[in-house]
């Protein structure tokens, strides 16, 4: 298997807001260039343009609505995030849940503008259902472990390996990311050993005193 894909979700952490979003992206870029591992970032919506303009790094949106141009005040329009510099988007994060119909609409909107898609799921059945929609990635994240510091790869390895197996049967082109509680090198190593092709993580890096050092520790066992 090749090198993993790492997607860093800034959420609305203060450390990843405004200029902080740029500084964390710079740290990600340095570690990516030094290791050859692809690292992407998902800053808050108002920071997408800032980060994409100042740092040469893949930028994802944290959310996308399944709407087009028109009377949709307060929604997130695919063309807007694409023009801001995003190359992809998260869909259905556990902190921004969507119905199945909304997930399908968001996925369609993302594909219309050539955006990569990561559908977040919380168990094997929802992962299988998400894979059937044909996203680029599914990210398995049991919500009770998000931000806990307890990696899903240790707390519930079967949900990772089961998701990998389910996705392979439905659409082998869809890649599986492992999320929830990932912060250390052993967590990433375990996630990869369970068959995932990368990780979706947040607080362990964004809130670290030294994000670059935290990233270097994360990839230390690759």
Distance CA 44, CA 63 (A): 9
Choose the catalytic residue: 30, 56, 93, 165: 93
Residue 11 annotated as part of some ligand binding site? yes
Tell me the β-bridge partners of 89. 61, 117
Q: What percent of the chain has pLDDT over 90?
A: 78
Task: Give yes or no: 141 in active site.
Answer: yes
Tokens standing for 26? 């710079």
Question: pLDDT tens digits for 58-72?
Answer: 999 999 999 999 999
Choose the catalytic residue: 63, 75, 95, 141: 141
Q: How many CB atoms lie within 10 A of CB 95?
A: 16
Q: What domains can be seen in the chain, in order of their start residue?
A: 5-118+181-219 (3.20.20.70)
Residue 82 annotated as part of some ligand binding site? no
pTM summary value: 0.93
Query: Mean of the per-residue pLDDT values for the chain?
Result: 92
Q: What is the pLDDT of residue 158?
A: 83
Residue 203 annotated as part of some ligand binding site? yes
Task: Give yes or no: 38 in active site.
Answer: no
């Amino acid at each position: 298997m090749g090198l993993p894909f790492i997607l860093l979700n800034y959420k609305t952490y203060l450390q990843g807001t405004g200029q902080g979003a740029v500084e964390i992206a710079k740290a990600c870029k340095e570690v990516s260039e030094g290791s050859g591992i692809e690292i992407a970032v998902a800053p808050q919506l108002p920071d997408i343009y800032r980060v994409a303009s100042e740092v040469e790094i893949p930028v994802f949106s944290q959310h996308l609505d399944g709407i087009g141009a028109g009377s949709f005040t307060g929604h997130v329009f695919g063309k807007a995030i694409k023009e801001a510099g995003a190359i992809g988007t998260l869909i259905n994060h556990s902190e921004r849940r969507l119905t199945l119909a909304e997930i399908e609409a968001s996925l369609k909107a993302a594909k219309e503008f050539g955006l990569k898609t990561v559908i977040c799921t919380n168990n094997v059945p929802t992962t299988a259902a998400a894979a059937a929609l044909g996203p680029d990635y599914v990210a398995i994240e049991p919500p009770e472990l998000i931000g806990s510091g307890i990696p899903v790869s240790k707390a519930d390895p079967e949900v990772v390996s089961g998701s990998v197996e389910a996705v392979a049967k439905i659409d082998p082109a869809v890649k599986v990311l492992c999320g929830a509680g990932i912060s250390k090198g052993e967590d990433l190593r375990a996630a990869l050993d369970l068959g995932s092709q990368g990780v979706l993580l947040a607080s362990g890096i964004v809130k670290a005193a030294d994000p670059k050092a935290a990233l270097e520790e994360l990839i230390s066992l690759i």
